[in-house]
A and B are shown apart, each in its own frame.
Chain A
């Protein structure tokens, strides 16, 4: 039985866990990162790669702004190119009503320092001739873009390791407890003792709530993705649409990655898979926005396992039952862009007891009222 004693133990080697590990280590703490498989092999490694602020819930804007400042420097932080490209994110409106929605959102966003460029349908077409003529207007976030998810989190884990984090892969945490003065975390042939514990176990985080007598309405989300054959680069922006369940982007090599709608997944067997019916249903939605997509061939497809919460906002913050326990999970399908910021926020929470970025909206207790109401209703 190996024993390890550190300041902070982190469960989960996704982008959240790895970014936190690097930030904490840089802040001078000793860190062990425990990952049941490989770092960045779950949601963080297979997502759509969208690095987008536009369209986020208002409570997420401070955090997404913080992340947006980190992404352009990430290759320096990590010491390698992770294919972050600030191509811009274009949100399309199909009706005047949607145009109004974009305008309202732009006002809110500006209050948080996110400037969105609003364009009429005609101007949108002039700027981006490949967009369908039926578009009523658009909103462009020039700072947004995409990165290669297959590279980002593994690069984080390597950087963390080279800074001295104990990155322990193939190390499934089987049990964790608070002894009154520290945590004891058990994995096969290993016990880690730590002052602090971070629950960044993604879709599997519920298990670690139960160890500490906590609960949250965490469910499984399995976004559906597929990619086309490579064609000449023409679509210079990442695309989303108001009220539409489709999003897509073209990479420099020419492939178009498309997503939206549910895939299939199973937490126990750790398997996930693209759903053919969802994929087929997306064809019309995507072609309606960018007609040139018609006729391109789909060559691959996949899905992934992600934690979901009823209000589509994450849980980030201190546990209510256990001192020195911090949660950061349930990113509801849009945590890739936030990852670098959440890493720093977790570091501040542990080092300073509070974060510079407002995170109150993400506290775990917000579901208590709901739970109580439900119980009352049932009683």
Chain B
């Protein structure tokens, strides 16, 4: 009998993994919550809303076309099940929800390629209507052809910032400002490292030139941000490196500060994690070839470590080759070697990018007691601090029990890491010591229906 291989996620990592496995005749199952393949980055508009690839993906159009075509070619050699939420994993089986119906998908090998989510740092006004993540702003444009506002301010600490800015400008949006909370000097210093992947450095440079061409106000080393408005966004205040406050009128803000792996499923599958000091976040522990700490479970793409779309394609293939190897199925080892070499270059690039966009701890230090930290439950920074003073909660799960932080619909996906930051700041303990919120199913809400 053929081993049953299940891939979760039909983004660049999942699609390339499916390609390798289908090529070996294994007919993998591919589950994805979205209705169409492509993942977040190469997300396609829904039927009826199609537009040409260039308007949609800009400089990434070629890659988007390739990925969609690659998946299209697989046809019946994969068992693709879109619109399928995977909400639990235990004892070699996944709980799924498809069109309101519950189901179970057992597996012999599981390849998790669930991608990433914007890394969020709260600031005053961040829960007002009109504030979105950078990823959200990009999806509005790609999947729906809409701008998140009439006049949009973009804030970030990662390569997504200039990309979204240029996509908005190309599409004719009014961009009020592009604010980078990390210093420009860090990018200059990291330039050498970025040359590990020259086409990447070239693309990055051309994005910056584009912003210049459009004449958008751009600032680096932004020290503080504050969205104003009573019921929705009516402007943005920000403080520059010299301590001066600036004010801009806008009706929408997109802000996020890098990416964070979507590792809830890996967590439920029992995969070990570790705290990565360089990026200041928890990541799944990876062994050779994209293997996790759990036999039978493999990780690829951004859910294993943030690397971007190109890396996702490579780690997707690599994890699939590991599956083949572990099943004792032969394959052309040369290609794997090639992948490893390219990945090594990308690792150097990623190091440079991490240095170019250092984690903006100043935004955490600036958090005042009145700031809402958990947007689902409405828990403030002050409540977390006060709870620590009263209870001496040594870890973030205990703090959750007392304050409800991370107990809402999103399960701490948005605020969990920030609650840890506040606890560590208040208690003096290190971030790895205060831990992270334990995963619980359902990964996303499921309806109680018969």
Contacts and interface: CB of A to CB of B under 8 A. Distances in A.
Contact of A276 (B88, B401, B448): B88
A297 B450 contact: no
B408 A299 contact: yes
B449 A298 contact: no
Given A150-B401, A276-B88, A302-B440, A294 B450 contact: yes
B391 interface: yes
Contacts of A45: 401
Interface residues of B, number: 23
Contacts of B391: 154, 158
Given A150-B402, A154-B391, A284 B450 contact: yes
Given A154-B391, A274-B440, A280-B102, A298 B411 contact: no
A274 B409 contact: no
B290 to A, nearest CB: 26
B293 interface: no
Interface in B421-450: 440-442, 445-450
A295 interface: yes
A90 B449 CA distance: 23
B90 A299 contact: no
A286 B398 contact: no
B398 A283 contact: no
Contacts, number: 66
B402 A287 contact: no
B448 A228 contact: yes
Interface residues of A, number: 29
Nearest to B445: A297
B445 A299 contact: yes
Given A274-B440, A274-B441, A299-B408, A294 B449 contact: yes
A299 B408 CA distance: 7
A285 to B, nearest CB: 10
A38 B393 CA distance: 9
Nearest to A297: B445
Given A276-B88, A276-B441, A297 B448 contact: yes
A287 B450 CA distance: 8
B411 A294 contact: no
A229 B409 contact: yes
Interface string B175-210: 000000000000000000000000000000000000
Nearest to A80: B390
Given A229-B445, A276-B95, A287-B450, A299 B411 contact: yes
B251 to A, nearest CB: 29
A127 to B, nearest CB: 24
Given A150-B401, A229-B409, A276-B88, A296 B447 contact: yes
Given A283-B449, A284-B450, A293-B448, A298 B398 contact: no
A301 B102 contact: no
A273 interface: yes
A154 to B, nearest CB: 6
A261 to B, nearest CB: 15
Nearest to B94: A276
Nearest to A298: B446
B407 interface: yes
A294 B398 contact: no
Nearest to A46: B401
A151 interface: yes
Contacts of A293: 448
B45 interface: no
B401 A294 contact: no
A359 interface: no
Nearest to B442: A298
Contacts of A87: none
Given A273-B90, A276-B88, A296 B441 contact: no
B159 interface: no
A301 to B, nearest CB: 6
B382 interface: no
A69 interface: no
Nearest to B87: A276
Contact of A301 (B402, B440, B447): B440
Given A276-B88, A294-B448, A297-B447, 4 more contacts: A150-B402, A229-B409, A298-B446, A299-B409
Interface of B: 88, 90, 95, 102, 390-391, 394, 398, 401-402, 407-409, 411, 440-442, 445-450
Q: Which 4 A-B pairs have the closest CB atoms?
A: A297-B445, A150-B401, A284-B450, A276-B95
